[in-house]
Chain A
Amino acid sequence: MEGEHDVTRRDFLKTAAVAAASALPGVSPPAILADPGPSDAVPYGMIGTGTEGCTLLKFLTTIPAGRCLATCDIYPPNLKKGVETIGTNPQTYVDYRQLLDRQDIDAVLICTPLNLHAQMTIDALNAGKHVFVEKSMFFKEEEGEQIRQAAAAHPKQVLQVGLQRRSSILYNVAVEMIRKGALGKITFVCAHWHRNSDWRRPVPDPKYERLINWRMYREYSGGLMAELASHQIDVANWAIGAEPISVVGTGGIDYWKDGRETCDNVQAIFEYPGGQKLVFTSILSNGHYGFQEQIMGDQGTLEITIGKGMYYRENASKASTGTAEEEWWAGATVSEQAAQKGIPIFPEKPNGQGGFLDREWRYAKRWLASMGIYEYEEPHDPWWSEMADFLASIREGKPVVAPLELGVADALAVIYANRAVDTGQKVFWPKKTGLARTRAAGIP
């Protein structure tokens, strides 16, 4: 982490010069370079083949590094959908422990309701499997330590959390821009995830209500905070380079008064050690702003979401005493463009016929190159990349993109934020390990 020092233009250029010589760290070439033969592919099982599980299975169909041998779900229509999606005629299970008993399966993916994540992860690690577990990693505070212990007992097994922005080239480039000083000193991240829907899935038979709409019930779910904020808290942690130290929040069931137990309107403010704040806002009654993170520093702003990122330069009002060579930054067209209309991180490919798009593309490329960044597009859907990364970690020892501690930090932030909403009190992170202390705001 670069910490809090103000990045001056001179620093920026120095960093850029050094960085230009090296490839972008944190962004690896495509995980799968050569197609393995069937015997070389990682045999895996998918536990939970609902919407998320099937989304991953669909991407897995085009990743030869893995081979699906088994699927598991307790809801028959989902079990059927999973088999149809993967198309490889996997063995199906209703009890995940039977799937874990299979010695020919090396890895499992866990895409079940949140309250089941920890036990399944621990059981899978103890059964000798590599584990991919969806976010949020765990449901109850103490489960983080339990997963840590299981992971420590099986250090050779891969454990990856489903925070797929970590596998996105766009997000990696954005964070690299931050590291290189493009935003200056970060003070604030604003993350919103807004929808206009009841967030329910259709239930053909009322007896399946709690099974299908588990996100509505506090017995299984951390609501919007766990399902949506988890992605964005991780982005803020990544951008700021730290975990929060406290959170305040409020929420309510304000619009969809339909028997649900989780909030349809949550607002939380997290504070980081350097004083940076993260605002997370999520509602289910207006979808205009969609989902996005806005990362703000004294030199610029990044607006980023899956598939699109924009950079806005703050007006270059600070006087420069630098040399002419350094003046390009303040004077270049890219800077004017950045202040006024923003620069797309991955600009639309020009048509080669001149004109605005071509110019923008050239400026943006030049500017990114000045920071040592040579990635100009997202070559795969981040979901695909996250699956490819998981299999590459198993097969090739590639560092895990979203490892245990990232998942623990993320899940704890979700749990503490929900606690803040529930109690109406400010929640502080524990000093080292152990349980968080809740205390009234303002009392030391």
Chain B
Amino acid sequence: MPSGQHLSIPAPKMTFCAINQRSLRSVAWLGLWLPLLISAFAATPLRAEQPSVRYEASHDAMGTVFTVAAYGRDERYLAQVVNEAFEEVDRLDAQMSNYRPESELWGINRNAARRPVLVEPRLFQLLQDSLRYSEETAGAFDITVGPLMKAWGFFRGQGRLPSRTELVGVLKRVGYRHLKLDGAQRQIQFDAEGIGLDLGAIAKGYAVDQAVEILRANGVSSALVSSGTSSLYALGAPPGERGWEITVRHPYEAEKVGDVVYLKNYSLSVSGNYEKFFKLSGKTYCHIMDPRTGRPVENMLSTVVLAPRTTESDALSTAFFVLGVEGSRKYLAAHSNLAALFYQPAASKGRFKRVFLQPASFSLPPEALAEFAP
């Protein structure tokens, strides 16, 4: 199916290839402009007791490329299951797109300022989760940033600098406090005209989680599911491995390794200033908005969040990008299953500062793995 129009500016197409030096491990690079590399099938033959087939497929949806690499006994069966997962991603895209007038999200944006709008139960749950993230991050995560993205020209891919008065006007239409959710009636209402929901910072992670549920329900126990280069979930581990090896790109140089993470039954999301940006008079403006100031975030290169669910890591990688290291400490201290990595610009050009935060009480559920390589 043609992918049509999407939640965000399309990412370049990704390809798969093997890296021979890392033949025993599964490696995924995260970061725009770089191919997602998954290499567990590379050089050495699989052990006899392991499932023998690896199946990979990718699919255009939500303005990016969803990819699944899965292990199982039967390639045809894996193909059918992965196809079911992609069909679900398409349904979510059709429901949550802010580019399609017929989507449920568009309908909410069209009507919710005038009357309460009934919301599909799972989308309602996602909206509730989004509001909770907003409250817990003091507004650093916000699904009402759409007007800001438009004002800065990110909606159609051309950057522009809005005037101060324009920003003041736009900020009146931004803020999660404008959203009223009625759980008993499963309804949403906006308290003013001009408010619009944009799920671009959470929907792709949510779609990864839903795809993983379908894989699980059909008995797949080893798979890596990713949306573009920003979010992924590691289901189980590749045969004979502790976990999936994920490579996070260097904040400046796309070809270089920033960090390596091992994951099993855990998710990882990245927000980077290199994903979408524009330059004006020598200054670079990235696509991640601080909903509180109405301006693109500065002084952050990228943030990586590890969380049990991809919905959560996707939302929080954006929130932490906005909050910065100090602002994120409190949140992390209160959540013992999260870890975060920050790449910040350093004083000298081309250098950066790496900060890793993990709560002292950090603990994982059984059967999960989430650790950074030393």
The answer to whether the Cβ of A2 comes within 8 Å of any Cβ in the partner chain is no
CB neighbours (8 Å) of B110 from chain A are 379
A11 to B83, CA, bound (A): 50
Contact A201 B84 (CB under 8 A): yes
The answer to whether the Cβ of A103 comes within 8 Å of any Cβ in the partner chain is no
**B86 CB, nearest partner CB in chain A, Å:** 10
Contact A381 B102 (CB under 8 A): yes
**A325 CB, nearest partner CB in chain B, Å:** 34
Per-residue contact bits, chain A 222-265, to B (CB 8 Å; 1 contact, 0 not): 00000000000000000000000000000000000010000000
Q: Which of B23-31, B74-82, B309-317, B361-369 contacts A (4 or more CB under 8 A)?
A: B74-82
A198-B107 contact given A87-B121, A381-B102, CB 8 Å threshold: no
Contact A351 B102 (CB under 8 A): no
The answer to whether the Cβ of B118 comes within 8 Å of any Cβ in the partner chain is yes
Residue of A nearest to B119 (CB): A62
Contact A55 B4 (CB under 8 A): no
The answer to whether the Cβ of B374 comes within 8 Å of any Cβ in the partner chain is no
Residue of A nearest to B82 (CB): A202
The answer to whether the Cβ of A346 comes within 8 Å of any Cβ in the partner chain is yes
CB neighbours (8 Å) of B1 from chain A are 287, 290-291
Contact A64 B118 (CB under 8 A): yes
Considering only residues 36-95 of chain B, those with a C-beta below 8 Å from chain A are: 76-77, 79-81, 83-84, 87, 91, 94
Contact B121 A61 (CB under 8 A): yes
The answer to whether the Cβ of A3 comes within 8 Å of any Cβ in the partner chain is no
- Within 8 Å by CB of B219, from A58, A204, A381, lies A204
A290 to B60, CA, bound (A): 14
Per-residue contact bits, chain B 122-165, to A (CB 8 Å; 1 contact, 0 not): 00000000000000000000000000000000011000000000
Number of B interface residues in the complex (CB < 8 A): 30
Contact B80 A307 (CB under 8 A): no
The answer to whether the Cβ of A398 comes within 8 Å of any Cβ in the partner chain is no
Considering only residues 267-309 of chain A, those with a C-beta below 8 Å from chain B are: 287, 290-291, 307-308
**A207 CB, nearest partner CB in chain B, Å:** 15
Number of A interface residues in the complex (CB < 8 A): 34
A346-B120 contact given A201-B80, A290-B2, CB 8 Å threshold: no
Contact B218 A379 (CB under 8 A): no
- Within 8 Å by CB of A378, from B5, B76, B102, B217, lies B102
**B181 CB, nearest partner CB in chain A, Å:** 15
- Within 8 Å by CB of A351, from B80, B120, B156, lies B156
A51 to B217, CA, bound (A): 15
Contact A308 B4 (CB under 8 A): yes
**A264 CB, nearest partner CB in chain B, Å:** 14
CB neighbours (8 Å) of B79 from chain A are 197-198
A380-B218 contact given A198-B80, A202-B84, A307-B4, CB 8 Å threshold: no
A62 to B104, CA, bound (A): 9
Contact B120 A380 (CB under 8 A): no
A55 to B103, CA, bound (A): 14
Considering only residues 347-361 of chain A, those with a C-beta below 8 Å from chain B are: 348-349, 351
**A116 CB, nearest partner CB in chain B, Å:** 23
Residue of B nearest to A59 (CB): B120
A382-B4 contact given A35-B118, A61-B121, A202-B77, CB 8 Å threshold: no
The answer to whether the Cβ of B100 comes within 8 Å of any Cβ in the partner chain is yes
Most buried by B among A55, A201, A307: A307
Please list the 6 inter-chain residue pairs (A to B) with the smallest Cβ-Cβ separation, ordered nearest first: A377-B101, A378-B102, A87-B121, A202-B80, A202-B81, A61-B120
Q: List 7 A-B contacts (CB under 8 A).
A: A59-B120, A61-B118, A61-B121, A201-B84, A202-B77, A204-B219, A380-B107
Instruction: Give the A-binding residues of B (Cβ under 8 A).
Output: 1-2, 4-5, 76-77, 79-81, 83-84, 87, 91, 94, 100-104, 107, 110, 118-121, 155-156, 217-219
Q: A62-B120, A198-B76, A204-B219 are in contact. List 13 more A-B contacts (CB 8 A).
A: A51-B87, A59-B120, A61-B118, A62-B104, A197-B83, A202-B218, A204-B218, A307-B100, A308-B4, A378-B102, A379-B107, A381-B104, A382-B102
